[in-house]
A and B are shown apart, each in its own frame.
Chain A
C-alpha cells in the first residue's frame, strides 16, 4: 500500500443535519480499478466531489495524487479526469467543438487540438457523428463523448460516476473493456461508482460497499464473499422427481458431512449450504438413496449477494454480527435470489 494515489482520511460531509459522508477512510492504489458500490443517495457522488475539491468536506482530508483536494484543487484537477453522472454538453455546439473547448481549457496546444479531438472521437466510436450538434445526441452517445472528454486530457486518475447509465449492453461491454484496458496498459487508476453490480464485478480489482455515508466493506470480491459467507460459500439446490418423503432421517446424515452447514427441504427441492464445493458428493449421496435427480444447481455468492447482505445488515444495524441477524433473512434472500 505504498503508492496510494487516492487517500481519504476521516472524510465527513454534512448537509445541514444530514450526514452524507461519515468518517470515510479509503486508500486506492495507482493502477487499480476500484468500484464504489452503493444505493442511490449513499454519498458516492458527494465523496467524488470532495476528491475533486468541488465540494468542501466538513471534516477530514482527501488527497489525490499527493495534493490536498480542498486546498489545491487545480493541481488535482490537472491529474484527474471526471465524468459526472449526468454529463451535459453545450447544445448549440457540435460534439467536435465541445471537445475542442475542453482540450483548449486543458492547455493542449492549438495546433494539436484538431488532430487530438478527431482521434479521440474515433476512439470512442463517434467518428461519424463528430460534427453533429450535441443536442441531437442520444444518451449513450453523450456518455461516450463524456469518456472522450475525460480521456483527452490524458489523466492519471479517471473518476467515473455511474458511467454505464444509458448505454446499451454491447456498449457497456465495450466501455468497460476500454476502461479495463486503459488501466492495465497505461497504469491509469480508475474509480467508478455504480449500482450495477455485475458490471462492477466484471472490471474492478477491488470494490467498496458504501451505504448511508459509510464504507461498510472493501476488498476484492472473493475476499468479501469469503468474509461474509465463510460458513456457507456455496449453495447447492437439488431438484428431485417426487415429493420428498420423510426428511428428518437423511437430513441428519447430510449434516454430518464436514462441509454441510444447513439443509432446507421443501416440496421436491433441497437446498444445501456448504463451506466447500461438495456437489459431486451430494449428488452421489442422493443417487445412492434412490432419488431421481432432475436438476442440480450450484451457485457461488457473487457481488449481488454480498451487496444485498451488507445492505440488509446495515438496515438492521447489525453489521458485525451478521450471523445472528437472521436465519430468516438469509433464507428469505436465498429464495429471492433464484
Chain B
C-alpha cells in the first residue's frame, strides 16, 4: 500500500472535470443503461461456465439425439402412412414421430424444460446473499430490480439460444438426410414450438427465482421447486382423478351433453398444471391436424375433413394455453419482484 497519493492525485483529478462537464443527461443515460447490460453479460457467462448448465446441456442434447434417432428410423413409416393427414410435414414428423420406445422430444421437454428452468434459477438470489455479494452489488449504483431482471433474462437468453440452435440443427440435419425442402408453415410451427418451450422454461425459471428470493437456503428453494414440479407431473393427475371419481356422477347415467360438460371440467382442472398447458400447446403446434384440445361433439365433427390446419388457426387454438403460461410466469415474477424490493438484504 505504498505511495497511494501519487496515483490518486491523477485518478481523482478526473472528478471535478466530470462535474464541470455539466451534461447530466448524457452521462445519466449511459450510466443507467449500461449496468443492466453488464449484469446480464456476467450472468450469462456465469451460467455457461457452471457445471450445472453443462450437465443439463448434455442431458438435453442426449435426449434430442435420442429422439431424433428414433424419429428418423420411423420417418419412412410415418410419412407413408396414408391415414395420417400430417404425413407431408416431414420436419414436424422429425420432432414427433416415434415407435413407442422413446417419447417424442416435445414430451421429453415438458419434464426437462422444468428441470432446466429450476436449475438455472433456484439459487439466483439466495446464493448471492449467502456469499455476501448481494449487499456489495446493491451498494453499486444499480437499481435493485435490475438484478432480478438480469437473472431472469440471462437464463432465458441461454435457453432460447440452446433450443433455437437445436431446432436449426434438426432442420439442417433433416435437409441433409432427406433432401426435402422445408415448407414455410413447418418453419413457423417449429419456431413457435421453440418460443413456447422458452416460455415454458421461463415459467419454471421465474418460479425458481421466486423461491430463491423467499428462502434463504439454496437447497430449500431447490427442493421446494422440485417438489412443485413433481407434484404437477405425477401427483396432480392422480389427485384430479380421485376427485373426479368421488365427486362426479357415474358417466353411465349421464346424457351426452353432461359427459361433454364434465370432460371439459376435468380438462380444465388438468390444465392448471403448466406441463399440461405446454403439452397441449406443443401437440397442437407440431401436429397440424389437431383441431381442438377438448372433446368434440358429433355435431361439431360432422362435415369436418381430416386435413391439417393453417399455422394461424393452430396458434389460435393454443392461444389460451400460451396466455395461461404467460400469466403464470408474470405472476411468479411479479411476486418475486415484490418480495425482493422490500427485502432486508443484510446477511
Q: B-contacting residues of A (Cβ < 8 Å)? A: 45-46, 49, 52, 54-56, 74-75, 77-78, 80-82, 84, 86-92, 101-102, 104-107, 116, 119, 123-125, 146, 149, 153-154, 156, 174-175, 177-178, 181-182, 185-186
Contacts and interface: CB of A to CB of B under 8 A. Distances in A.
B131 A88 contact: yes
Contacts of B38: 101, 104-105
B344 A55 contact: yes
Interface of B: 1, 4-5, 7-9, 11-12, 14-15, 27, 30-31, 34-35, 38-39, 42, 46, 49-50, 131-133, 135-143, 342, 344-347
Nearest to B15: A154
Contact of B139 (A56, A84, A89): A84
Contacts of B12: 154, 186
Contacts of B7: 119, 123
Nearest to B130: A88
Contact of B132 (A88, A175, A185): A88
A164 to B, nearest CB: 13
A149 B345 CA distance: 19
B14 A82 contact: no
B128 to A, nearest CB: 8
Given A154-B14, A182-B8, A185-B8, A102 B1 contact: no
A182 B133 contact: no
A52 B42 CA distance: 24
A190 B35 CA distance: 26
Query: Which secondary structure characterizes the binding site on chain B?
Result: helix
Nearest to B132: A88
A319 B20 CA distance: 48
Contacts, number: 104
Nearest to A174: B1
Contacts of B137: 105
A182 B7 CA distance: 11
A177 B3 CA distance: 11
Given A77-B140, A124-B1, A92 B132 contact: no
B345 A125 contact: no
A181 B7 CA distance: 12
Contacts of B34: 104, 107
B132 A84 contact: yes
B39 A89 contact: no
Given A106-B31, A106-B35, 5 more contacts: A84-B136, A89-B136, A92-B49, A101-B38, A181-B4
Nearest to A81: B139
A87 to B, nearest CB: 6
B138 A54 contact: yes
A106 B14 CA distance: 15
Nearest to B30: A107
Contacts of B342: 56
Contacts of A90: 46, 131, 133
Contact of B346 (A45, A92, A154): A45
A146 B132 CA distance: 11
Nearest to A102: B140
30 contacts: A46-B346, A49-B345, A54-B135, A54-B139, A55-B346, A56-B342, A74-B142, A75-B141, A77-B141, A82-B139, A84-B136, A87-B132, A87-B136, A89-B131, A90-B131, A101-B38, A101-B42, A104-B35, A105-B38, A106-B31, A106-B140, A107-B27, A107-B34, A107-B35, A123-B1, A153-B140, A154-B11, A154-B12, A174-B1, A181-B5
